[in-house]
Structure 1
Amino acid sequence: MKLLRLNDSPFIGNFALATNEYLLLPPHTPPKVKEDFEEELGVKARCVTVGESNLIGLLACGNSKGLIVSPYTSDFEIKQLEKITRVRRLPSILSAVGNIILANDDAALVHPKLSDECIELIADFLDVDVWRGTIANLRTVGAMAVATGRGILVNPDITDNELSRLSALFGLTPLRGSANFGSGVVGSSIVANDHGCVAGSDTTAVEVMRIEDALEL
């Protein structure tokens, strides 16, 4: 497990996105940082933008089967992303896609106000079971958790009922934890796949151990 920064921020999950098949980083990511991400996550990095922004992890969510992006993603960006994986825009005014969808290769928990049309797109395109829900009574489920095929780390304030639903949906045992010296916004603080995990540079040794336990690394 590595501790890194992106765009001079420890909240690397806002800027990067990883699955078992691809890794997306912002343009101008320093070569050493790019190399560290690739080494830890076991996939080749591609430097792209989404919505003409470096906030890839905030504006996109994906799994090994494809990538769902903000409706404000340009045609040029779509063409560049399609060289990497299958891509679809989310037809929603809720444009911070990475904040409102928590997904792995099997399931997705989404913002409770997402439309039936969006739910159907996510289910069909990513080939996952989709439930609406909250984490820690917050609708930004993608920012509140990290899910891989091996495990889930969730905001420590998640309720017992939410934890049970999350476990039933994903078929995994979520563990409560934090990153970046006490931040419960773990989805914004961590980039992970089945091969490894990169956390923000402010993450403590105790948090690292908990993250490794949760994601079975």
Structure 2
Amino acid sequence: MTATFSPFQDYSAYTPADYAVWQKLTARQLTTLSDYACEEYNDCVKALHPVISPEQPPRFDELNEQLKAAYGWSIKVVPGFLPVDEFFGLLANKRFCSSTWLRTEKQLDYIEEPDMFHDIFGHIPLYLNADYASFAQKLGALGVKYHDDEEKITQLQRLYWFTIEFGVIRQHGELKVYGAGICSSYGEVLHVFNDSKVEVVPFDLDAVLQQDFIISEVQNKYFAINDFSELWAVVDELGARWS
């Protein structure tokens, strides 16, 4: 499927090559994440079956039905990266943005910008989790409220990066992943659990807000929460500090 933008998902445009790519990516990640993803992520993926499955790319209208029925979320089709204020505005209104194009066979392990597999398989499942969905909406609302404060927006981007994109959690004494940047990437999963350079530290709000990141470089530091309820509590704490 080409990257030509449409504000709607044109399901008829997906080619046999797209189906093959989706099948390979989804089957591989489902197998890998059964051991490495947190319970909440795996439970949500199961709840979205068969809309999300290796058999075919997901239909956004079917995903929206389940998302709206759970906590009022829906998918907003976008051409790619959005301005920060627009992105936070969508989150505040319980809308998560997604591309509709898929990477090629040659890009199975790396793409420069998010495609549908990253956006849907990586991000969407956890919007069926109450704590996570609340966290994302509250984070977006803070972004809207402080859109003209560059320092606060930078801190919110860091919080987003080390939770929604590259979040990890400890469950039953074991490290598990939940961030979309990890859950949608076979290489990132292996990196987290097998690279000796990786540092996992307890989640600390102040440390996260001060931690820089480079979007184009592999992540080597992760902040581990112990429970998903920590996430919305963190946003509430931040909102109280800034009010």
Q: TM-score, normalised by structure 1?
A: 0.28
**Rg comparison, structure with higher value:** 2
Could you say which structure has the higher helix fraction? 2
Higher relative CO (CA 8 A, sep ≥ 6), structure 1 or 2? 1
Could you say which structure has the higher strand fraction? 1
Q: TM-score, normalised by structure 2?
A: 0.26
